[in-house]
Structure 1
Amino acid sequence: MTTVAAMGALSGLRVLDLTLMMAGPYASMLLGDHGAEVIKVEPLEGDYVRSVGPYRPDDQLRNFGGYFQSVNRNKKSIALNLKEPEGREILIELVKQTDVLVENYRAGVMDRLGLSYETLRDVRPQLVYAAVRGFGDPRTGNSPYVNWPAYDPIAQAMGGIMGITGSSDGEPAKVGPGVGDIVPAIMCAFGVLAAVYRAKQTGRGQFLDVSMVDAVLALSERIIYQHSYEGKVPKPEGQRHPFLTPFGIVRCKDGHITLACHTDAFWSRLCELMERPALASDPRLKTEVARRENADLVYGAISEYTMKRTKRELLEELGGHVPFSPVYNVADIAADPHFAAREMLVELEHPGALGRMAVAGVPVKMTETPGGVRRRAPMLSEHAAEILTGVGIDEQRLKSLRDRGVVG
């Protein structure tokens, strides 16, 4: 395997990561997973998430916990005080050697520091400057909420996904994973690669803006056409799909399973597997439209079958024949051979603790330049000396910068 292949498709791409919490760090993590050199520029006290945990009971350092480890692997760290002129000067020197800068401060913060996109563009014309904010940046569309703070549940609520998630009695629910952070992060990483491709062609970078709320709305695209085409205001859907049947969650003897047998072919096959072939020819259930209109009858017939069987029994009877899965918890995931074969649970060392801890692996697989989790998350400012050497700062000056609170 060549060096480039070992490091990933983005080997040679340099990213300055001025992000905190979840959305921004996840975006830069995606780039790092595929070989980009990601330099995390933190405040002197570090990313707030370092203090969140969860920590191993034997962790003597508590420099970071599982949350930080999961979304900051494959990165280097330097702590800079950007409120100090020398700190800003160092950042500008780093920008001169950088392809991409990602930040997720509120709109205007970097501008007030004298580190706006326009300022940095003059230093590095090919720079791709990516911002992830709750309601976007005025450069691309001035939202009336541009100065509002936002986190995952705010994006889920205003972006529409919370309004269609929850019990069918109308009570909304938050989606478990932080999709209000993670979906904007994925879109940011995609946007970065599109802009970098353009910059390689033209020599000109650009400002890239992702609103968390916009990204969640894009994820919830179905509600837009339901409202436009049908005049509906979709409500929480419970365990079923609004217009595909059967397509959802069904109880079984020891938990829940999911089925997506809405097509005539899969419905007919499911009826055979349930040893009730007559259901497939029942006029009330024969077509997709008929099944949608008689959803209670469909799910009732399926429940009669599933409630007599465990998840394991149903996996053996239905798995591979129709679109089916048990509803897994993380213990089920850890035991399933699929995730081991796909290297989706990756163990990393954790400073201050014994043993190795698992984080989620890299889902985008490539044959020539495979990505991967190559290194643990960094200690705060762990790579300051290495990074600053690259801009001509020697050990003596680094000590002075640290003594004066410019570098961590």
Structure 2
Amino acid sequence: MIDGKDSGSTDGGALSNLRVLDLTQVLAGPYCTMLLADLGADVVKIERPGGDLIRSNPPFVDDADEEAYGGYFQSVNRGKRSIELDFNEEADREDFLSLVEEADIVVENYRSGTMEKYDLGYETLREYNPQLIYSSIRGFGDPRTGETERQGQPSFDLIAQALGGVMEITGQEDGPPTKVGPGIGDLFTATLNCIGILAAVNHREQTGEGQYVDTGMYDAMISMTERAIYQQSYTGEPPTRRGNSHPTLFPYNAFETADGYAVVAAFGTNHWTEVCAAMDRQDLADEYPTAADRLEHREYLRDQIADWALERTTDELVDALEGRVPVAPVQNTEEIFDDPHVHARDMLVPVEQPGSGEDVEIAGSPIKMTETPPEPRGRAPLLDEHREEVLGEKAETAADD
């Protein structure tokens, strides 16, 4: 519970006037619709028989047999309502189409062509609701916005990071290509898709027109690796892994300390001067006064900073530079949970974990607004928890008409 609200609360929020039919599962699609739910949209999660594939994924608080779902599902499906529909059944397709008639947005992340198999593709749905915004998240986009031979192939975060150049530029210089820890192939794509949906909503407000919004994971990763793209164009050489360093800025790196790691981003001359003062190395400030000088001699200077860092704990290094130089410890999640800043910013939010008798904490919304602040609006739904509520609303509306 959050302030007495259970799953699917739609009180307030900048998007409280919008109804979203969420046909997505796993990560990319649910993250996109979670953003909309946090902003106040009424998100109805329409689940296939048996529910979202990740309902049973761990971790659990205690007993997987007693708890309704694990942390994966909880995190990206909070604040939604759930109904279970089987599109192989005519009655369920009719129920879905009845909801489409009054929905604002439909979001799905099936393979290209899946909805068309049930005669529920965009062209069909817009006959029922010409103002509908239909949004898809796919590995390789939709043929409607640019057809390629990859469409229809399955894709996951790892595939998108590999194809989009992320893995090639991530990892240690002498190590293998490495995926970024969080599923950015899903999460960044989902965020871009959310932006596209909101842009389409604004367009509809001006024109009355609905439209199709399409975001591909491969496309999104090319956008995210923007630096590598322009480097290839400008230099004619494909950039590769540089560990924690930066190709054109120095110092900008992680340094091992006596008890952990800290990062220092001191490529500005004012910051470099402060680092040299903290190290008691005025000679380095005098000998390497410009950014070009420091970049040319980066290996030698990195060694000097590294030697200094190893003689100090992480706290000592941060204390020596904080407030004058961009510096931070490399934190694990336990340290994040202990950080007062995180709590002051409401970035850890308690929600009920059904079947456990306990609350758990999930990541809050980083979008802050003064009048309509986004927030997780309750726990994730039980499977089909809101069938009577959602379909009953439709029946009530029809009776009123």
- Partner residue in 2 for 1:111: 116
- AA of the residue aligned to 1:313: E
Q: Aligned AA for 2:226? A: E
- How many pairs are equivalent? 389
Partner of 1:381: 384
Aligned-partner SS, 1:46: coil
What SS does the corresponding residue of 1:314 show, helix, strand or coil? helix
Residue 330 of structure 1 is aligned with which of 317, 330, 333?
333
Q: Does 1:188 align with 2:193?
A: yes
For the Cα contact (< 8 Å) 2:10–2:41, is it kept in 1? no
Deviates more, 1:375-384 or 1:49-58: 49-58
C-alpha displacement of 1:314: 2.0
In the TM superposition, what is the alpha-carbon distance from 1:20 to its structure 2 partner?
Answer: 0.7
Aligned to 1:144: 149
Please list the CA deviations of residues 149-196 of structure 1 after superposition, one character each: whole Å capped at 9, or x if unmatched: 000000000011011001101511011000010000000000000001
Residues 7 and 371 in structure 1, CA contact (< 8 A), matched pair in contact too: no
TM superposition shift of 1:269: 1.5
* 1:252 corresponding residue in structure 2: 257
SS in structure 2 at match of 1:343: coil
Superposed, 1:44-123 pairs within 5 Å as 44-58=49-63, 60-123=65-128
1:60 deviates by 4.7
1:212 corresponding residue in structure 2: 217
Q: 1:132 maps to which residue?
A: 137
Match for residue 300 of structure 1? 303
Q: 1:5 to 1:45 in 2, by over 3 A?
A: closer
Task: Report the alpha carbon displacement of residue 354 of structure 1 after superposing the two structures with TM.
Answer: 2.6
> Considering only aligned residues, what root-mean-square deviation do their CA atoms show, in Å?
1.5
* 1:263 aligned to which of 252, 268, 290: 268
Residue number in structure 1 paired with 2:347: 344
What is the match of residue 319 of structure 2?
316
* TM-score, normalised by the number of residues in structure 2: 0.94
Output the CA distance in 2 between the equivalents of 1:89 and 1:355. Answer: 38
What does residue 372 of structure 2 align with?
369
In the TM superposition, 1:159-170 aligns within 5 A as 159-170=164-175
CA distance in 2, matches of 1:286, 1:346: 46
Secondary structure in 1 aligned to 2:394? coil
Q: Is residue 21–residue 49 contact of structure 1 (8 Å, CA) maintained in 2? A: yes
Residues 59 and 353 in structure 1, CA contact (< 8 A), matched pair in contact too: no
Determine the structure 1 residue equivalent to 2:4.
none
Distance 1:100 1:155, change over 3 A: same
Instruction: Sort the Cα spacing of 1:320 and 1:5 in 2 relative to 1 into closer, same or farther, 3 A.
Output: farther
Residue 376 (structure 1) shift: 0.2
What are the residue-to-residue correspondences of 1:2-81 with 2, within 5 Å?
7-58=12-63, 60-81=65-86
Partner of 1:221: 226
CA contact (8 A) 1:58 1:354 kept: no
Give 2:242's aligned residue.
237
Aligned counterparts of 1:6 and 1:267: Cα–Cα separation in 2: 50
| Change over 3 Å in CA distance of 1:304–1:253 after alignment to 2 | same
2:10–2:42 Cα contact (<8 Å) kept: no
For 2:253 and 2:14, how far apart are their aligned partners in 1? 37
CA shift at 1:343, angstroms?
0.7
Instruction: Report if aligned partners of 2:67, 2:353 keep a CA contact under 8 Å in 1.
Output: no
The percentage of aligned residue pairs carrying the same residue is 46
> TM (normalized to structure 1)?
0.93
Question: What letter matches 2:332 in structure 1?
Answer: N
Amino acid at match of 2:256: R
3-state DSSP class of the match of 2:315?
A: helix
Supply the AA of the counterpart residue of 1:279.
L
Structure 2 unpaired stretches of 5+ = 1-8
| Structure 2 CA distance for aligned equivalents of residues 330 and 321 of structure 1 | 26
> Map of 1:381-400 to 2, 5 A cutoff?
381-392=384-395
**2:373, 2:252 → 1: CA distance?**
34
1:170·1:235 contact (CA, 8 Å) conserved in 2? no
| CA positional deviation for 1:49 | 0.4
Query: Deviation per CA, 1:178-220, whole angstroms, max 9, x where unpaired?
Result: 0010000000000000001001111111001000010011000
Paired residues of 1:39 and 1:75 also in contact (CA < 8 A): yes
Q: Secondary structure at the match of 1:390?
A: helix
- In the alignment, the residues of structure 2 paired with residue 8 and residue 129 of structure 1 have an alpha-carbon distance, to the nearest angstrom, of 22
1:301 is displaced (CA, Å) by: 1.4
Moved more, 265-274 or 385-394: 385-394
| DSSP 3-state at the match of 2:135 | strand
